[in-house]
Amino acid sequence: MSGKKKILQLTITCDLQLTDSLTDFLVGVLEAGVEVGVEDNLVEHVLHVYLEADDPTEENIAEIVNQVETQAKMLAEIFQVGEPTVVSEILDDQDWGSNWKKHFKPFAITDGLVIKPTWEDYSPKEGEAVIEMDPGMAFGTGHHATTSLCMSFIRQTLKGKDRAKVLDVGTGTGILAMAAALFGSTDVLGIDNDPDAVAAAFDNVAHNNLSESIAIEITALEELSGQYDLVVANIIHDVLLMMREDLARLTVSGGSIILSGILKEVQADNIIHHFSEAGFTFKEKMEQGEWAALLMVKN
């Protein structure tokens, strides 16, 4: 065994209804990096999936592919759609980063805001703002439903409030922090506990000339002081519950909190219940597919 790193790339073509559920499985269970191709197709999505492995054998690859195919088949039965197709390929570690980039194209994440990768050309239309970014190792390009849901709430909440202080918890590539700055805030802090994410976010903020408005730090949430007019946390249900007291502490009275990374219905209702107990009033819920984002105001 040489120990040389390899990347197992899976290309999965699936019905649109399966994209979010399948992505959750790939990221949450297999710890894969996933990008959704932005092909002009109203019926199917193409998922580009990357898993790191030490000299994977044919048996290893077959086992992973079988695991993915089994999950995909189960989801297809639940949603009553056609089974996804899964194609595998081994990439050298040094080649994988550039390989996935060809699938990341400019796209409008919400009205008036376009996300474009650093290696693509795009001419904005009148009134459009553009975030130019390189996700690096953080895998946060904005394709996930929860990102666009949070974007919509951020834009709505910051309208007419250019002096609002914003905290983005789990900033990833900094995409929501940058959106907050482009939507008017001149005082944004993005934090994350992943050094790769912090590095990517820092570079993206600097590249978009937003460093005067946005600070990126690896500071732990419990170590933060002060209060913010808007707190955004696009994470997952259980972590949001663990962070509840700190999120409440950091939100100014009358301030807003945007919570996402949660499934609609049961998870969303549970978050509303627990954050209401922490002094928040539920204002609005947005849904996309099986995902939800919540807007609440601190009493």
CATH fold for the domain made of 144-298: Rossmann fold (3.40.50)
The two structure tokens encoding residue 223: 């170590």
The stretch 246-260 carries a mean pLDDT of 97
Please name the helix (run of DSSP H) or strand (run of DSSP E) that holds residue 117, with its range, or none.
Answer: strand 113-117
Confidence of residue 218 (pLDDT cuts 50, 70, 90): very high
Does residue 2 surpass a pLDDT of 60? no
The stretch 155-160 carries a mean pLDDT of 92
Q: What share of the chain has pLDDT > 90, as a percent? A: 44
The two structure tokens encoding residue 80: 């009553």
Q: What are 11-29's pLDDT values in tens digits?
A: 999 988 888 788 878 877 7
Rounded CA separation 247/245 (Å):
5
Residues of the chain with CATH 3.30.70.120: 5-101
The stretch 216-233 carries a mean pLDDT of 96
Q: What are 67-121's pLDDT values in tens digits?
A: 999 999 999 998 889 999 999 888 765 555 555 566 567 777 777 788 887 778 8
Does residue 168 surpass a pLDDT of 80? yes
Does residue 118 or residue 247 have the better pLDDT?
247
Does residue 235 or residue 38 have the better pLDDT?
235
pTM assigned to the model: 0.68
The CATH classification number of 5-101 equals: 3.30.70.120
Does residue 274 surpass a pLDDT of 90? yes
Q: What are 170-193's pLDDT values in tens digits?
A: 998 898 999 999 999 999 999 998
How does the average pLDDT of the chain come out, rounded? 85
Q: What is the per-residue pLDDT for 101?
A: 62
The stretch 17-42 carries a mean pLDDT of 73
Q: What is the per-residue pLDDT for 120?
A: 80
Amino acid identity for residue 220 in this structure:
A
Reference 197, options 226, 230, 235; nearest CA is: 235
Does residue 45 or residue 234 have the better pLDDT?
234
Confidence of residue 166 (pLDDT cuts 50, 70, 90): very high
To 5 degrees, how large is the angle CA 266–CA 68–CA 2?
125
Q: What is the per-residue pLDDT for 40?
A: 45
Q: Which residues lie across from 181 on neighbouring strands?
A: none
Residues of the chain with CATH 3.40.50.150: 144-298
Other CB atoms within 10 A of residue 96 CB = 20
**Alpha helix ranges (H) inside the chain:** 19-28, 58-79, 93-101, 145-158, 175-182, 195-207, 237-250, 266-277
Q: What is the per-residue pLDDT for 277?
A: 97
